[in-house]
């Protein structure tokens, strides 16, 4: 099981990498590029997003972690945009319009807020309960071993005749015969 800081760093890296790729595809489609990039472009974008996520997961900032997170998220979007531009069939260049910059800035602010909320949830009680539930559910199943059960060898059927024989006869006053 990972420590809380390691789990938060992995979560942060994963989210930054995924957001960088997703925002790059959305911005590329809205900016006039293909809404559905070619396979080669997607492979390059996934690789670039993974590198960005790994870099964010390994980065440690003692002062200004939000600034570093925002810079890494913005850099990830830039790398994703550059990757899609290089691998696209049309050459629209790397022009950054004011609308595109505003959209990327807004996406960066929203992304940082979402990442910080996820980190807080991970470090809270709900996060620790979630980690335990995931650990239990992801554990390998225990094989069903046959358990010992007692086997009945002889059945005791307490009928009246057995009870009478075991007690030595009927007990009670003798019957009157006339």
Q: Where are the domains of the chain?
A: 4-91+100-138
Distance between CA 52 and CA 69 in Å, rounded? 11
Task: Please give the pLDDT value at position 24.
Answer: 79
Which runs of consecutive H residues, i.e. helices, occur in 31-169? 39-58, 65-87, 98-123, 125-138, 160-167
Task: Please give the pLDDT value at position 99.
Answer: 72
Q: Is the Cβ–Cβ distance between 2 and 61 less than 8 Å? A: no
CA angle 48, 27, 30 (to 5 degrees): 145
Task: Please give the pLDDT value at position 44.
Answer: 85
Residue 24, C-beta contacts closer than 8 angstroms, at least 6 positions apart: 45, 77, 79, 80, 81, 83, 84
Q: How many CB atoms lie within 10 A of CB 17?
A: 25
pTM above 0.85, yes or no: no
Which ranges of the chain have pLDDT less than 50? 1
Distance between CA 24 and CA 49 in Å, rounded? 10
Q: What are the C-alpha distances in Å from 119 to residues 125, 132, 138?
A: 12, 16, 22
Q: Which helix (H) or strand (E) holds 132?
A: helix 125-138
Token pair for 11? 């979560």
Tell me the torsion sign for CA atoms 115, 117, 123, 126.
negative
Long-range Cβ contacts of 59-65 (<8 Å, 24+ apart): 60/9
Task: Please give the pLDDT value at position 155.
Answer: 61
């Amino acid at each position: 099981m990972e420590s809380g800081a390691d789990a938060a760093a992995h979560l942060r890296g994963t989210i930054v990498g995924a957001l960088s790729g997703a925002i790059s595809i959305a911005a590329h489609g809205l900016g006039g590029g293909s809404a559905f990039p070619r396979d080669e472009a997607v492979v390059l974008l996934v690789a670039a997003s993974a590198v960005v996520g790994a870099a964010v997961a390994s980065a440690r900032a003692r002062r200004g972690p939000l600034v570093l997170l925002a810079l890494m998220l913005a850099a990830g979007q830039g790398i994703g945009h550059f990757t899609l531009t290089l691998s696209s069939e049309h050459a629209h260049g790397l022009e950054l319009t004011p609308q595109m910059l505003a959209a990327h800035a807004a996406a960066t602010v929203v992304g940082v807020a979402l990442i910080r909320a996820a980190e807080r949830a991970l470090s809270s009680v709900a996060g620790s309960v979630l980690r335990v539930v995931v650990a239990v559910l992801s554990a390998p199943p225990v094989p069903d071993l046959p358990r010992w059960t007692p086997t009945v060898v002889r059945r005791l059927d307490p009928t009246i005749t057995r009870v009478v024989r075991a007690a030595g006869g009927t007990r009670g006053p003798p019957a009157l015969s006339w």
